[in-house]
Chain A
Amino acid sequence: MRYIDAGYAIALSVLAGYAALLWRRGRRLERLAAPRPKPPAR
């Protein structure tokens, strides 16, 4: 049984890590793609 538990733990950890990585990358790209506010006219 501990083998199966270890398998689940590894699978869930890897998937959670990969999902977090994707999510963070998406947020960073969204910030980069967002239109920047124009500087105030002099």
Chain B
Amino acid sequence: MGTVFTALTLVTGSIWGRPTWGVWWVWDARLTSTALLLVLLLGYLAVRRIPADADARARRCAVVALVSALDVPIVHFSVNWWHTLHQQATVINPDFSPTIHGVMAWTLLLGFVAFTLAFAWMLVVRYRVEVLAEQLEDSALDVALRERWSEGPRAAEPVPAGADAAGLVTTPTP
């Protein structure tokens, strides 16, 4: 979801930049740090797809997510740290004095609330989908294990070396 929203931010920002700045894209601090965030999020999705057991995958993904999150404050403060093409912070700025026209401010606020609500609703649905998928995966594994065990006594378990000689392995009588 972060990937979808970040990609949309870049695309719609580029469409806004064309009439405002006269260019679709420029290697400005805000734009570049946001593009880096998108690359980090794509990397996170790639890490999620690396085959591994659930715990190892969760730990690996958590590390990548934390590293990616470090870029979020960089995106926010980039306009104050590096004075490139993008205007400086207009709403949440160091002076706590929004420098934005009233109509634009209300439009921005409306858009912010609407997109945040949409994000929250989609996050709930996305979370539920993931929980259901995980439950199904677990139950499918249970079914597969039961089927394997039902093929024969101790068929799925490896016999330790020397166990046969020590008389530990019993042969079922027909």
Contact = CB atoms under 8 A, between A and B. Distances in A.
A10 B12 contact: yes
Interface string B1-35: 10010001001100110110000000000000000
Contacts of A11: 8, 11-12
Contacts of B125: 19, 22-23, 26
A32 to B, nearest CB: 6
A33 B136 contact: yes
Contacts of A4: 15-16, 19
A8 B126 CA distance: 23
Interface residues of B, number: 21
A41 interface: no
B39 to A, nearest CB: 19
Nearest to A15: B118
B113 interface: no
Interface in B110-138: 118, 121-122, 125-126, 128-129, 132-133, 135-136
B129 A6 contact: no
Contacts of B8: 10-11, 14-15
A4 B13 CA distance: 10
Interface of B: 1, 4, 8, 11-12, 15-16, 18-19, 118, 121-122, 125-126, 128-129, 132-133, 135-136, 139
9 contacts: A3-B16, A4-B15, A8-B12, A10-B12, A11-B11, A19-B125, A29-B136, A33-B132, A33-B136
Interface of A: 3-4, 6-8, 10-11, 14-15, 18-19, 22-23, 25-26, 29-30, 32-33
